[in-house]
Amino acid sequence: MEQQFFRRFCQFVQDKDLFSSGQTVVAAISGGVDSVVMLDCLVRFAAERDLSIVVAHFNHALRGEESDQDEAFVRELAEKSGLPCFSRKEPVARFAERHRMGLEEAGRILRYRFLEDVRQHTAAHAIATAHHASDQAETLLFRMVRGTGWRGLGGIPAKRGAVVRPLLFAYREEIEAYAKERNLPYRQDRSNLDLRFKRNVIRHQILPLLKKEVNTKAEQHLNQLAEILREGEEFLHKSAEEAFEAAVKQKNERKIILEFESFCSYYSILQKYILFLAVNFIHENADILDYPAFKQALRVIHQGRLGKFVDIGERVQIGIDHSGIVIRRKKDIPAETVSFAIGDLVKLPGLHAYLISEYVDRKDAVFTPDPFTELIDAQKISGNILTIRRVRKGDRFQPLGMAEMKKVSDFFIDEKVPLHERWNTLVVENAGRIVWLIGRRLDERFRVQPETGKCVKFQVIWTEEHELSESKTGS
């Protein structure tokens, strides 16, 4: 059985193109059965495919001596496997209190910051976490009852940026059976049994009841549904981009006008996606378009009452006039801008992500190809205050490696950036100058030079709403 499990592991890695021969992978190991099995498979895979493995353990300092014992266990595990091991202990509870956030969100931010630091330090290509198919089913159930759309129902992706999940093919029972057959030691985390956490209610009560009373293959069917919806979301988003461009009569940062008959010729679900794209363009946060808001907007549009407008959230109105379907920003509402100082933890507007910034000495600076980590020359910054905002019409910057200024819109065209991603792009700005198109390109004027003494490191940490398996990568 364990040989069959390992063959499936290798096939999944190949099918999803998670990593390949000659690369280095950071394995996020908590010491629990899932991460221990993942590490065992990675070590076996590495022996066959010339892969280098680095072990990383984050100690959340939430369970006192138990947390320290988990860290010692992982270090011993890495040593027995002949693997380098990095660990970091940070008081997550203190961080959560200081930034007024929940323990799980705080833990995720600090944990992924640590994992990304290890990846950069070791020049690794990927970070592997031990999320599996049972986690996927639990996540889908959680999002369904909390309320979400196609994208949310797509579940946990096998690959997102540098983070990969090579165990998504396997269910909890299979993982535990593999560990037993291979006689693998692992740690038990008591918090995984605590029913005060909603994820544990779904894991230990709701999903087992569904499997017992409704369908023994409930987990498998939920995973199939997630895959189907993930493919559907990709198709709908691409189709909506094309439909949006075909329907647009006028478009600027304050107002979009859509041709009425063209818009109404599409199916209702595409109409919703078109409105999503339009609102996101002028409002910078389409999350205000929840299901009731979609229904309200479409009702007004299909009634065709000229001059009738409805408020969508606090900043957007949708209605009909003689020119067509109008999506407009309310007057006197400025675009969202967030100011911060170096060292602050900043929530990125409209995204499930944070920006972390810190000063680092040039000699300690590690350059990385990661598009969401960047280093700039601290001496080029005017003062200590920077801002984050959306790209605006007419923005110009000097792309890294270029000698002249360039319109951001022209840069997007040259780089073939999809339309919906252009509208979502955030910039870091200082004294009226774009420092960084986040995830896209640094401004040449802020690049690190040989004579640079001190740098500023920017790092984006993504958070995934409603992710259930927060114990996968730490203690």
Express each pLDDT in 89-144 by its tens digit.
999 999 999 888 888 889 999 999 999 999 989 999 999 999 999 999 998 998 88
Which DSSP category does 203 fall into? Answer: I
Are 448 and 455 within 8 A, CB to CB? yes
* pTM exceeding the 0.85 threshold for the entire prediction: no
Q: Are 166 and 12 in contact (CB under 8 A)?
A: yes
Torsion of CA 449, 453, 456, 457, to 10 degrees: 80
Does the pLDDT value for residue 154 go beyond 90? no
pLDDT for residue 370: 84
Q: What is the mean pLDDT of residues 21-42?
A: 96
Give the per-residue pLDDT at 288.
Answer: 59
Strand (E) positions, 299-419?
309-312, 316-321, 324-329, 338-341, 345-347, 353-361, 373-377, 385-390, 396-397, 406-407
Reading the block at residue 171, the tokens are 């269910």
pLDDT in tens, 240-289: 999 999 999 998 878 899 999 999 999 999 999 999 888 888 765 555 56
Q: Is the dihedral of CA 430, 434, 436, 442 positive or negative?
A: negative
Give the pLDDT confidence of 284-339 residue by residue, as tens digits. 555 556 778 888 889 999 988 888 888 887 778 899 988 899 998 876 445 578 99
Closest CA to 445 of 406, 393, 389, 387: 406
| Structural domains in the chain plus CATH codes | 2-196 (3.40.50.620), 254-329 (no CATH), 338-462 (3.50.40.10)
Shortest CA distance to 169 belongs to which of 25, 16, 17?
16
- Average pLDDT for 404-420: 88
Higher pLDDT, 3 or 351: 3
Beta bridge partners of 320: 325
Name the token pair of 154: 């797509």
Q: What is the pLDDT of residue 286?
A: 57
Of the spans 12-16, 303-307, 423-427, which averages the highest pLDDT? 12-16
